[in-house]
Structure 1
Amino acid sequence: MHLGEILGQRTGRVSDAQTKPHETVDEDRRDFIHIATAATAVAGAGALAYVFVDQMNAASDTKAASSLDVDVSKVPVGGEIRVLIGGQPFFIRHRTSAEIRAAQSVDVSSLPDPQSDEERLVPMQSGEYNAAILVTSGSCTHLGCVPVGPAQGNTGDFGGWYCPCHGSHYDTSGRIRRGPAPSNLPVPDYNWVSPAVINISL
Structure 2
Amino acid sequence: MAQDAGTDASAVIDGEGVRRRDFINIAAVSAAGVGGLSLLYPLISQMAPSADVLAESSTEVDISQVQPGQAMKAVFRKQPVFIRNLTAKEIQEAEAVDVGSLRDPQTLKDRTKEGHTNWLITMGVCTHLGCIPLGSGEGEVKGEFGGYFCPCHGSVYDTAARIRKGPAPRNLEVPPYEFTSDTVVKIG
Give the direction of change, closer, same or farther, for the CA distance of 1:42–1:197 in structure 2 (3 Å limit).
same
Q: In the alignment, what sits opposite 1:141?
A: 127
Higher Rg: 1
Pick from 107, 111, 114 the counterpart of residue 105 of structure 2.
Answer: 114
Q: For residues 73-88 of structure 1, what are the structure 2 equivalents within 5 Å?
A: 73-77=63-67, 78-88=69-79
Structure 1 residues 45 and 193 mapped into 2: Cα distance closer, same or farther (>3 Å)? farther
Kindly indicate whether the alpha-carbon contact (under 8 Å) linking 1:75 and 1:93 is maintained by their aligned counterparts in 2.
Answer: no
- Could you tell me which runs of 5 or more consecutive residues in structure 1 were left unpaired when the two chains were aligned: 1-12, 17-29
1:45/1:164 CA distance change after superposition, 3 Å = closer
CA pair 183-33 structure 1, distance change in 2 beyond 3 A: closer
The aligned residue for residue 166 of structure 1 is 153
Equivalent residue number for residue 27 of structure 1: none
Change (3 A) 1:135 1:52: same
- Structure 2 partner of 1:68: 58
How far residue 181 of structure 1 moved from its aligned partner, in angstroms, is 2.9
CA RMSD of aligned residues (A): 3.4
Tell me, yes or no, if structure 1 residue 179 matches structure 2 residue 169.
no
Question: Which residue in the other structure is 2:93 paired with?
Answer: 102
Stretches of structure 2 that go unaligned for 5 or more consecutive residues are 4-19
Residue by residue over 1:142-179, the C-alpha shift from the partner in whole angstroms, topping out at 9 and shown as x without a partner, is 33321111414122222211222333321110012233
**Cα gap change, 1:181/1:45 in structure 2, threshold over 3 Å: closer, same or farther?**
closer
Q: Residues 75 and 94 from structure 1, CA distance in 2 versus in 1: closer, same or farther, beyond 3 angstroms?
A: farther
* TM-score where L is the length of structure 2: 0.72
Cα offset, 1:36, TM superposition: 5.4
Give me the TM-score of the superposition, normalised by structure 1. 0.68
Q: Which runs of 4+ in 1 moved over 4 A?
A: 30-39
Aligned counterpart in structure 1 of residue 44 of structure 2, from 47, 50, 53: 53
Structure with the higher helix share, 1 or 2: 1
CA contact (8 A) 1:75 1:81 kept: no
Provide the identity percentage. 43
Contact map agreement 1:141 1:182 (CA 8 A) in 2: yes
